[in-house]
Chain A
Amino acid sequence: MAPLHPTRGSVFGWMRKSARTEALLGVALAGPWIVRLVVLHLYPIIAATYYSFTRYSMIKSPTWIGLGNYIAMFTRDRLPMQALYNSFYYSIGAVPLQLTLGLFLAILLVQNIRGLSFFRSVFFIPTIVPAVASSILWLWLLNSRVGLINEILVNIGLPRIQWLSSPRWIKPAFILMSLWGIGWDTVIFVAGLQNIPRHLYEAAEMDGAGLWARFRNVTVPMLSPTIFFNLIMGIIGSLQIFGPAYVILRGASQGGPQNSALFYVLYIFRQGFQYFEMGYASALAVFIFLIILTMTALVFKSSAVWVYYEGSR
């Protein structure tokens, strides 16, 4: 490193001192973040786990009740499982559609045609509309009597749908709303697609691969790390849907018709910030945390089979 130094001893001495300075500086610069990491990320996980075994209304200090909260959420209280079902329904409906449509649009956006950045911006714009604004917009679009979506349905000969007032349609309504925001996924897919070397497609074409074969054997494997990224983020995000539901249902007190849109985080919010049952809300939160953790771990495990990292073979 420092060949200009006259003797071996002094080189080492200099290096050791500089290494120490570097380490001190490194810790100092990362310091504020380490504080936040501990106080606002690590400690809360431990605290939530502790609170989940207590009864805690914030007026008195927490009292230990063992597994009481967990037993209650699986037996006495029927709503947590209903809420979990709702969130899963939403996630299973929304994520695959988001990924498929996002990828489809992204593939169109990397073709050799004019006006690409225009189209890309068009797909991206809905993702930057504030959640409250887009929710009231969809409230209006999905209005069952005079909403535009139903008008379109009627015009093409389909029946009107009670989007937000029937237990059957309210979750599909939220899925539909989420599709308006796939622009973010699309932009990430476009970036991934642009990194696939062209010569792979040319080689595949030389070998007589058609459109589908090229998609299946070049695009999917080369894009699999990006698909993986969007899938993980999609699962984590969708299972925690909150904002649009809170706005459309006017708060966390109502769960929609027959609690059909009582999403899990909405229920946590109700227990924690409306009933101030911080212990119970923590147990609910820890449970969804474990579920998301398990799902993420499963996807990570499966990724060994289907995610292809170039240069890691």
Chain B
Amino acid sequence: MSTSDLQYPTAEAQVSWRERLAGKTFTVAVQRAAIYTILILASVAFLFPLAWMVSTSLKVKSQVMAMPPVLIPNPIRWANFPDALNAPNFPFPLLLKNTLTYCVLATLGVVISCPIAAYSFARLRWPGRDLVFMATLATMMVPGTVTLIPTFIIFRYLGWTGSYLPLIVPAFFGGAFYIFLLRQFFMSIPMELSEAAIMDGASHLTIMLRIVMPLAKPALAAVALFEFLADWNDFIQPLIYVTSEKMFTLSLGLYAFRDRWETRYDLMMAAGLVVTLPILVLFFFTQRTFIEGIALTGIKG
């Protein structure tokens, strides 16, 4: 593990000081080279599928299935993108609008509801709190499969199927994972801050909004990003609740696209890239928040 080793202050070590240091440096160099080699090879393996997606999306039809495979398209056919976006069953602007409606509203819901519930679990005392929190943790372990059907029946009873309500409304009532994550974060903020504020006559609501929330901005940002990503990529919920094609999300649209253009991998890859690109761009600008947010989830699991 440790790569910055120096000699140990034993008599034996001091005798062969020079040789040992030289030997160590050499070992370290070899180790480093090995680590880089593995990391680079692994990176190639991880990025290659995406690179192949890009490459296929830019090929002329005859080159898509050429043998041996052509890595760099020649000529580059940019027109695949407008072709995919203008395909009759892939109304991109509409799909994008629908997806954004779902993502933005559900993310908004989660960002409003979860910190409030998390604050209650982390900083307020009320009878039954720990029991409810245990139940909250337990729901994270409950497989979604078992709640799928009764949930569908509830929303059908309410007349909400065929609309976005089943996808959006629950978000305004919180989510177990985010509440857990935010609670862990709130607990790490010193209680003394709240106590001092109470002494000064501040109410709990003031403390929550003025002291705790501002400190929790990174955790809130992580929650917003996770939810946005989950909604953008969500497939099973739109599949169950959205019935009319006019309300399809990008995921559903892409699925339908695949169904229709079975063998046109050039167009399929172009459409797939268009659906993926926005989320990649989002990740590019927010990766710190993303990665630190995930790190937060695993530590106290």
Q: Using a CB–CB distance below 8 Å, which chain A residues touch chain B?
A: 19, 22-27, 29-30, 32-37, 39-45, 47-48, 51, 58, 105, 108-109, 111-113, 115, 117, 119-126, 128-134, 136-141, 143, 145-146, 148, 151, 180, 183-184, 187-192, 195, 198, 201-202, 205-206, 211, 214, 218-219, 225-226, 228-230, 232, 236, 239-240, 242-243, 246-247, 250, 264-265, 268, 272-273, 278, 281-282, 285-286, 288-289, 292-293, 296
Contact A25 B124 (CB under 8 A): yes
State the total of A-B contacts with C-beta under 8 angstroms: 284
By a CB distance below 8 angstroms, the chain B residues around A296 are 141
Interface residues of B in 219-276 (CB under 8 A from A): 229, 232-233, 235-236, 239-240, 250-251, 254-255, 258-259, 265, 268-269, 272-273, 275-276
Interface residue? B160 (CB, 8 A) = no
By a CB distance below 8 angstroms, the chain A residues around B116 are 29, 32
Q: Using a CB–CB distance below 8 Å, which chain B residues touch chain A?
A: 1-5, 8, 32, 35-36, 38-39, 42-43, 46-47, 49-50, 52-53, 56, 65, 67-69, 113-114, 116-117, 119-121, 124-127, 129, 132, 135-136, 139, 141-154, 156, 170, 172-174, 176, 179, 204-205, 229, 232-233, 235-236, 239-240, 250-251, 254-255, 258-259, 265, 268-269, 272-273, 275-276, 279-280, 283, 287, 290-291, 294-299, 301
By a CB distance below 8 angstroms, the chain B residues around A133 are 254, 272-273, 275-276
Cβ of A309 to closest chain B Cβ, rounded Å: 10
Task: Tell me, in angstroms, the Cα distance from A109 to B176 when the chains sit together.
Answer: 30
By a CB distance below 8 angstroms, the chain B residues around A131 are 233, 235, 251
By a CB distance below 8 angstroms, the chain A residues around B287 are 117, 121, 124
Task: Tell me, in angstroms, the Cα distance from A18 to B198 when the chains sit together.
Answer: 10
Contact A129 B276 (CB under 8 A): yes
Chain A minimum-CB-distance residue to B204: A25
- 8 Å CB contact of A111 from B3, B126, B150, B268: B3
- 8 Å CB contact of A44 from B56, B154, B251, B298: B154
By a CB distance below 8 angstroms, the chain B residues around A289 are 142-143, 145-146
By a CB distance below 8 angstroms, the chain A residues around B114 are 33
Chain A minimum-CB-distance residue to B45: A180
By a CB distance below 8 angstroms, the chain B residues around A23 are 124-127
Known: A42-B135, A191-B299, A288-B145. A36 touches B170 (CB 8 A): yes
Known: A33-B117, A33-B136, A151-B69. A122 touches B143 (CB 8 A): no
Contact B124 A29 (CB under 8 A): yes
- 8 Å CB contact of B125 from A22, A126, A130, A206: A22
Cβ of B208 to closest chain A Cβ, rounded Å: 8
By a CB distance below 8 angstroms, the chain B residues around A124 are 283, 287, 290-291
Task: Tell me, in angstroms, the Cα distance from A186 to B51 when the chains sit together.
Answer: 22
Chain B minimum-CB-distance residue to A177: B49
Contact B146 A26 (CB under 8 A): no
Given A29-B124, A30-B120; 7 other pairs, CB 8 A cutoff: A23-B126, A25-B124, A30-B117, A40-B170, A51-B153, A146-B69, A187-B295
Chain B minimum-CB-distance residue to A188: B298
Contact A140 B36 (CB under 8 A): no
Contact A201 B1 (CB under 8 A): yes
Chain B minimum-CB-distance residue to A50: B150
Task: Tell me, in angstroms, the Cα distance from A128 to B280 when the chains sit together.
Answer: 7
Cβ of A33 to closest chain B Cβ, rounded Å: 4
Contact A228 B301 (CB under 8 A): yes
Contact A184 B294 (CB under 8 A): yes
Task: Tell me, in angstroms, the Cα distance from A229 to B295 when the chains sit together.
Answer: 12
Contact B143 A44 (CB under 8 A): no
Chain B minimum-CB-distance residue to A29: B120
By a CB distance below 8 angstroms, the chain B residues around A195 are 299
Task: Tell me, in angstroms, the Cα distance from A289 to B231 when the chains sit together.
Answer: 24
Chain A minimum-CB-distance residue to B129: A26
By a CB distance below 8 angstroms, the chain A residues around B53 are 137, 140
Contact B275 A132 (CB under 8 A): yes
